Chains A and B, each alone.
Chain A
Amino acid sequence: DTEVTQTPKHLVMGMTNKKSLKCEQHMGHRAMYWYKQKAKKPPELMFVYSYEKLSINESVPSRFSPECPNSSLLNLHLHALQPEDSALYLCASNLVGYTGELFFGEGSRLTVL
Chain B
Amino acid sequence: AQTVTQSQPEMSVQEAETVTLSCTYDTSESDYYLFWYKQPPSRQMILVIRQEAYKQQNATENRFSVNFQKAAKSFSLKISDSQLGDAAMYFCAYRRGSSNTGKLIFGQGTTLQVKP
Contacts and interface: CB of A to CB of B under 8 A. Distances in A.
Contacts of B43: 88, 106-107, 109
B16 interface: no
A9 to B, nearest CB: 9
Interface of B: 33, 35, 37, 42-47, 50, 89, 91, 95-97, 99-104, 106-109, 111
Contacts, number: 58
B42 A42 contact: no
Contacts of A97: 100
Interface residues of A, number: 26
Given A100-B33, A100-B50, A101-B50, A43 B45 contact: yes
Interface stretch (A11-19, A20-28, A48-56, A67-75): A48-56
Contact of B97 (A99, A102, A106): A99
Contacts of B109: 40-42
B108 A31 contact: no
Given A99-B97, A104-B46, 13 more contacts: A31-B100, A31-B101, A41-B109, A48-B101, A56-B103, A58-B103, A96-B100, A97-B100, A99-B33, A99-B99, A100-B50, A104-B37, A104-B45
